[in-house]
Amino acid sequence: MPKARKSASGATSVVSSAMSSRLPSRAASPSAPRQRFRFFDLPAELRVRIYEDLLLMPEPVDLDPMNYRVIHPRLALFLVSRRMHEEAYRVFYAQPLRLFPFHGRFFETKKPLLTRLPARYRQVVNTIELRLGPGWSRPPKCQNVKPALGLMDCTNLRNMKILVQTDPSDTVFNGFRGRGATEDTYKWFCIDLLSGILEQVPSLETIEIDAWVKKDMPLVTALRRKVEEANKRLVWGRCLREREASEGSAERVALDGALASLSISNEAPRLVHVHA
C-alpha cells in the first residue's frame, strides 16, 4: 500500500508540471516605450482652441469666494512650461473681466481684480464689464478710475460692457438717496467713471449698454450720449433688445385691437376699378 501512494503522488507531480508548462508566464513582456504627445507640434490655431476649451469661463472673471474651485484648477496649466504659460495666459485674460467686484465678500475691497494683476496680464485684457447700480446709495471707495487701477496698462482693451441694474433717479427711490443726494447724484458718478475709462483707454472701440431698467431712463440716456460724444461704436445689450421687441409687439397688438373695434383694417388700401 505505501508503494501505491508513492506512485500516485509521482503521477500527480507529473500532471501538475505539465499543466504549469502550458500556462502563460506571469512575467510582463517588454512593451514598446510610449511616445510623448508633442503638443506644440500642433498648429497654433488648434492650440488656441484647446486653451479656450480649458480656460474660458461662462461668466466674467471676478473676485469670488469660489475661485479656488472654479478658476484655480484651470490655472495649473500655466505651470506646465514657460512656453505654455506664454500662450495660455493670453487666452485666459482676453475673456471678459469685471472691473469692480460684485460679490458681497469683495464689494468693499481696496484692490479690484485689475489692480491685483501684473502689468503683463493687463496688457492682454480685451473686454471689461462695468456693473452700475449695486451700492448706489454709498458707492465703495474702490469704484474709481485712479491710475492705481491699472487701466492705462490695458493697451489691448477693445470692448466694454455696461450693465445698469438700478437707476436711483426713479421716483420710487425718493427719500432713500441719503443726505445731500439728488436724483442726479449717482448718474453723474457713473458718467465720471465712464469718462475716466474713455480718457485712459483710447483703444476702446465698442461699448455695449444693457440694463434691467427701461431704455429711456436718465442713467441709460446719459451713458448713451457720452458714448456717442466719444465717437465709439454703441451696441444695445440683450435685455434691452428683448424688452424693446416685446414692447413693440404689445403696441402692435393694441393698435390692431383699436382698429378692429373701429372696423378699420390696417392692410394696404386696394384699388377698385369701376366700369360705367
Give the whole-angstrom CA distance, residue 112 versus residue 90. Answer: 20
Using DSSP's 3-state secondary structure scheme, residue 247 falls into helix
Give the whole-angstrom CA distance, residue 76 versus residue 16. Answer: 56
Average pLDDT taken over every residue of the chain: 86
CA distances from 124 to 28, 91, 93, 157 (A): 51, 8, 6, 7
Give the whole-angstrom CA distance, residue 117 versus residue 111. Answer: 10
For position 179, what pLDDT does the model report?
80
Q: How confident is the model at residue 4 (pLDDT cuts 50, 70, 90)?
A: low
Q: Residue 142 in contact with residue 112, Cβ under 8 Å?
A: yes
Q: Which amino acid is at 193?
A: L
pTM of the model: 0.76
pLDDT mean over 126-140: 95
pLDDT at 153 over 60: yes
For position 176, what pLDDT does the model report?
84
Q: Closest Cα partner for 57 from 84, 91, 9?
A: 91
Give the whole-angstrom CA distance, residue 42 versus residue 49. Answer: 11
pLDDT mean over 5-20: 51
pLDDT at 248 over 70: no
Residue-wise pLDDT for 25-78, tens only, equals 555 566 777 788 899 999 999 999 999 999 999 999 999 999 999 999 999 999
For position 273, what pLDDT does the model report?
58
Domain ranges of the chain: 40-92, 98-262
Q: How confident is the model at residue 119 (pLDDT cuts 50, 70, 90)?
A: very high
For position 196, what pLDDT does the model report?
97
Look-up: residue for cell 458718478? 189
Rounding to the nearest 10 degrees, give the CA dihedral for residues 120, 235, 230, 164.
-80
Give me the residues paired with residue 162 across strands. Answer: 130, 209
- CA 205 distance to own-chain centroid: 19
For position 180, what pLDDT does the model report?
80
Cell numbers standing for residue 234 = 454703441
For position 14, what pLDDT does the model report?
47
Q: Residue 84 in contact with residue 121, Cβ under 8 Å?
A: no
For position 15, what pLDDT does the model report?
46
